[in-house]
Structure 1
Amino acid sequence: MKLLRRKKGPSLDSRLAALTEAVELGEGRLPGEAVAAARTVTERAGIRRRLSVEHTVAALAGATGSGKSSLFNVLAGEELSAVGVTRPTTATAQAALWDGEGAGPLLDWLEVPRRHSASSGDLSGLVLLDLPDHDSIRLAHRLEVDRLVELVDLLVWVLDPQKYADAAVHERYLRPLAGHQDVMVVVLNQIDRLPEAAVARCLGDLRRLLDEDGLTGVPIVGVSARTGAGLAELRVLLANRVSERRSWSARLAADVITAADHLAAASADGAVELVRVTDGMGAGRSELVRVDGQGAGRVELVRVAEGQGAGRLDRPLTAALSKAAGVPLVVAAVRKGHRHRAVIATGWPVTRWVRRFRPDPLRRLRIGVAAEREPVGHTSLPAASAVQRAQVETAIRDVGEAAATDLPQAWGAAVRRAARSREAELPDAVDRAVGRTSLRETRRPRWWRAVNVLQWLLFATMVAGAGWLGVLLGMDYLRLPQPPLPTAGELPWPTVLLAGGALAGVLVALLARLAAWLGGRRRARRAAKALHEAIGQVGQEYVLGPVDEELTRYDRFAEVIGIARA
């Protein structure tokens, strides 16, 4: 016969590390109560692992009159706990220790001051607690039970034939602890009060109730503290659990899984509840299922593909930011500014000075005013209009909504908040990007310098021709003898220099203006492309980046929750 082995899950260390990371990732995103409860589990687990792992702390818990104290005394082999008719009898928890050396710090942590040595039976390493009644009329007793139920390694629920179906124990303790069935034992005490046939019926009915609670694998032992019936079986069961030295780790693993389940439930949409699912061979597992009026389905945290939702909206976001930043105005200024500066740098020296009286389009916007290297302060672009601001807000909201698609409500809200988290910083960031990017389009081309040198040479030629002619006119006015006058063909050289220099200067200026007009168009196209890229990077850093970080955070949360719940 082939043995079927259950697949081994993650180690306790892996589960604890995963839950700890899930708590950190869920901080500020999930309800504080679920996060705080999970953090308490991780802290408690860390403390328990540092204390004695050679001892197993088992607690006898039950209702008033169930016979916990009597069973405690029988197992310990002596009268350690008072037994009486007056209720409640047990006021504070007390411990019986079998080979209890080294268990002091553990009991200090449990805050159990009353400790007794026990030697009855081969239960070395067992620390057995007798708890107050969970249904005590005194609130302090119930609180003490609730506190220790969360801390002990092994829970032994002592029920009696009269109240084993009491809703108080099933709804308050057993059902919520369905994930802890590996560290639970149920004892039906006082079976000596029932006829033999009724014992089997009670045990069968109790089995049914436990199965409904999701505790399919929890062992049930029928005992009588008065007659000793079933005590041998209970001792063997306790001895096996103690000898394995694994109850403490199984308890911590169950706590981690339950805390992870609650985090997953807090992260998931809709009403959820923890149920016990069994297979055909009787094995079972706890699962969270959603109950939303459309049927129940298993709650899973779906991992998000990288860049989901946000990437397809980067263009609308960039377009909205570009309009709000005045990119069309900057592009036009780059085109006009290039032509304006080109005329000043390459125009005819006789008339170029007139151009300086016209305002520089780029300087009016405070672009390229710091030695054309770095912008000084902010640009002087007009503020975005109300319509443009609304378009930006809409684009940011659309990014958040698209990225939050299919995410649980809590994480979707976190993604939408992330999209708006740096909205106030956008105007300054976009303004700086516009200034830096436009600045690169204000640099003077090298050919301007060459043309400028040529213009001044032509101007010097014209001045030389005019001066030569002036000298000749002066000599003629003074009736001085005229020197020989060289000619170029029929024209004298002074006239050629004067007219040629002027005509050539004007022609070079016209050609340079045509080149500047074409260059302005080219620079405007480059500026538009560069500005959109720069503003797109701002959108990536200030809007899409935080969204992607939040999606990555959720993706990691789903991954570690899966490890903790495996």
Structure 2
Amino acid sequence: MAAMTAVTDEDQGNDSGTRKADGRWDDGLIARRAAAAATRGTAEPVPRAPADDDPAPQVEAYAPADGPLPTRLDALRELVGLSRARLDRDTLAEAGRVLDEAAARQRLSSRHTVIAVAGATGSGKSTLFNALAGATISDTGLRRPTTSQPIACSWTDGAAGLLDRLAVPGRLRRRPHPGPAASDEALQGLVLVDLPDHDSAATEHRAQVDRVLALVDAVIWVVDPEKYADAALHERYLRPLAGHAEVTFVVLNQTDRLPGEAADLVLDDLRRLLDEDGIAVGEHGEPGATVMSLSALTGDGVPELRELLGRFVQDRTAATRRLSADVDAAAARLRPVYVAGGRAGLGERARDAFTDRLAEAVGAAAAGQAAEREWRRNASRACGTPWLRLWRWYENRGLPGSLDRMGQALTPPEEELTARQRVEQAVRTVADDAAEGLPGPWAQAVREAAFTGAEGLPEALDDLAVRAGAPGAGKRGGETETETGRDTGAGAQPGGARPAKPPRPKWWPVAVLAQASMTLLQIFGGLWLVGQIVGVLEPGLVTPALIMLAGVVGGPLVEWACAAAIRGPARRYGQDAERRLREAAAGCGRARVLDPVAAELARYREVRERYVTVTKFSTTGR
């Protein structure tokens, strides 16, 4: 057969090239370029209408279909962008490669379909490549490996960009031999690439196979009766590319070596192996890989393969299907970092439990009890008998501060550590609850957000406790004292300010007046009796004794009645103080811990929605 010419944008003819004595290929291109340059240098350019046999190359940019692929690529691009700060570079490397290759393919011609012919040593792939091209383009023979670099054959012009992307040298770009193969209208747009052996002993050959297989639109795997079950083929290529079944052809070659019905038996066994690899075989009109047998040497079955390739090329969806399969594969690899078994989120029960733990750590209940005691103490001061108040003053006059302050001074340092540990336990528990059901990287991001926000939380809660006057709080400063040296109690203000006294009921002045009246009765009755004893007044013990007894009995009765009346308001005041401190602690914990955790969960839900969009229109069911 005649030698093939290299495919270039300038050379559209079918002139046969010649090989020089030194072995270098010469198709006349360099000479024509030199002549054209000399002509331009000596004369003005003359417009030349393209001849019928020298058409200008036409390159049609890739026009993506209106299907789901553009939406999936956009979602995958957003998914990668949102995940860069949470996932390592290696995890996103494959998705980034798919996006880059998709963008590169979409910038190139959509009229061409690039199909690689791959196979093992001695499988006859180069022979099949030549049979499809109708000429001896790729060398065949007993020397192994025969093919050392990819060789391309393009049926139409405009494929230079695609071949540049595959890094096929210009000297290895060919056109089919003039004849039935070249003039087949169904094959117009086909770019066939013969690859080196995938099991070659040369490492660089295997590297070229792996590189080109990641870039072509479809693959024809050529197997022979001896090595069709080779583990290297199935484990390294067919099984990982099971999702690319719609752009895969598996051809059993060299059937002329099999006697009788042996070819059908081997073909059935090949289908069984493909099924075990997870490759769907396209039969009865169902999508999947094309599996057939032929003999490239005798030509038996080659026309049928050429017809299948013609329909495949004219469909012009190979590139889209290949990119969709690549997106499916990338999404399948990313599934462990976006999908987990449980349901992600932070429920109200976990939030309430976190608030309860913070309230316990800040001492909200103790602050409420202290506020209630302060209310009762103020009521006792206002409504109690003066003799009882005098006795209490006498008992406390030699003590340095109140009993509450003494309790704080005697509190062991371990109590503060216990409060800090309670805060840390609360943060750790809510982080674990929020991370439950999340994939590993996102669970770690949620925990980091919680622990980072919790830095300084114990100190902030301690400040809240100081403001509320909670017992045991304010060991680092901030306590205030009243003029009598007592603890400020509930409502204490930082910085030495006086505490806000509990509000007094409207009936307190009446109770104070009644208690003062009882005291005056006691004093009046006592003075009357003293006057009778010293003889200043007329004797008569009954009346002054009754008056004094009324004051003595009435004072405690008034105090008891006031104590009973203030029980409800004091309890409500303590509950309000506990609620305020609890809400303040909850607000502090929400701003420092819950809000950052919620932001991480919102980010995860956003990327999860993008991932669902990527996998929603999967063509492989992954």
TM-score, L = length of structure 1: 0.66
1:209 to 247, 270, 273: 273
1:155 aligns with 2:219: yes
Per the TM alignment, residue 180 of structure 1 is displaced from its structure 2 partner at its CA by: 0.7
Q: Determine if the alignment matches structure 1 residue 178 to structure 2 residue 242.
A: yes
- Distance (Å, rounded) in 2 between the aligned partners of 1:339 and 1:105: 90
Aligned pair count reads 448
Q: CA deviation at 1:21?
A: 3.7
Match status 1:528 vs 2:578: yes
Q: How does 1:472-511 map to 2 (within 5 A)?
A: none
Q: 1:250 aligns with which of 321, 327, 334?
A: 321
**AA partner of residue 174 (structure 2):** H
- Aligned positions of 1:132-151 closer than 5 A: 132-151=196-215
**Greater CA drift, 233-242 or 526-535:** 526-535
Q: 1:39 aligns with which of 96, 117, 120?
A: 96
CA deviation after TM superposition for structure 1 residue 260, in Å: 0.9
1:70-469 map, 5 Å: 70-101=127-158, 103-113=159-169, 114-118=172-176, 120=182, 121-122=184-185, 123-217=187-281, 218-265=289-336, 301=340, 304=343, 306-308=345-347, 311-325=348-362, 327=364, 385-430=416-461
Residue 350 of structure 2 aligns with an amino acid whose one-letter code is L
- The match for 1:62 is 119
Structure 2 unmatched ranges of 5 or more = 1-65, 282-288, 380-398, 406-412, 470-489, 494-498, 505-558, 617-622
1:421 aligned counterpart, secondary structure: helix
Alignment CA distance shift 1:516-1:115 (3 Å): farther
Structure 2: how far apart are the matches of 1:423 and 1:100?
Answer: 65
How high is the TM-score relative to the length of structure 2? Answer: 0.61
Q: Which residue of 2 aligns with 1:538?
A: 588
Contact 1:334/1:441, CA 8 A, preserved across alignment: no
The Cα of 1:397 is off from its aligned counterpart by 1.9
Counterparts in 2 of 1:435 and 1:390: CA distance versus 1, 3 Å: closer
Residue 359 of structure 1, CA deviation:
12
> By how many angstroms is 1:60 displaced?
0.6
Q: Secondary structure at the match of 1:186?
A: strand
**Structure 1: gaps of 5 or more residues:** 1-8, 269-300, 343-357, 365-381, 449-509
Letter in 2 for 1:392: V
The verdict on how the C-alpha distance between 1:411 and 1:10 changes in structure 2, with shifts beyond 3 A counting, is: farther
Q: Is the 8 A contact 2:420 2:458 kept in 1?
A: no
**Structure 1 CA distance, aligned partners of 2:274 and 2:91?**
26
Distance 2:605 2:570 in 1: 48
TM-superposed CA distance for 1:329, in Å, is: 7.3
Structure (1 or 2) with the greater strand fraction: 1
Q: Which residue of 2 aligns with 1:494?
A: none
Q: Is 2:54 aligned against 1:23? A: no
Q: Secondary structure at the match of 1:385?
A: helix
Partner Cα distance (2:116, 2:78) in 1: 31
Alpha carbons of structure 1 residues 47 and 541: separation in structure 2 relative to 1, 3 Å: farther
CA contact (8 A) 2:253 2:295 kept: yes
Q: Which residue of 1 aligns with 2:555?
A: none
Task: Indicate how the Cα distance of structure 1 residues 435 and 245 shifts in structure 2: closer, same or farther if over 3 A, else same.
Answer: farther
- Between the aligned residues of both structures, percent identity stands at 44
- Which shifted more, 53-62 or 133-142? 53-62
Equivalent-residue separation in structure 1 for 2:345 and 2:174 (angstroms): 59
Which amino acid in the other structure matches residue 321 of structure 1?
Answer: L
**Two-structure CA RMSD over aligned residues (Å):** 4.6
Equivalent residue in structure 2 for 1:547, among 572, 587, 597: 597
Deviates more, 1:520-529 or 1:230-239: 520-529
Amino acid at match of 1:106: L
- Between the aligned partners of 2:456 and 2:375, the Cα distance in structure 1 is 31
1:558 Cα deviation (Å)? 4.0
CA distance in 1, matches of 2:192, 2:464: 70
TM superposition shift of 1:241? 1.5
Deviations 1:95-150 (A, max 9, x none): 1112131x322222222223223362331111111111100001111111111111
Please tell me whether the aligned partners of residues 119 and 198 of structure 2 are also in contact (alpha carbons under 8 angstroms).
yes
Higher-Rg structure is 2
Which whole-Å deviations, capped at 9, do the CAs of 1:371-412 have from their partners, x for residues lacking one? xxxxxxxxxxx9971111221222222222333334445544
Deviation at 1:334, TM superposition (A): 7.2
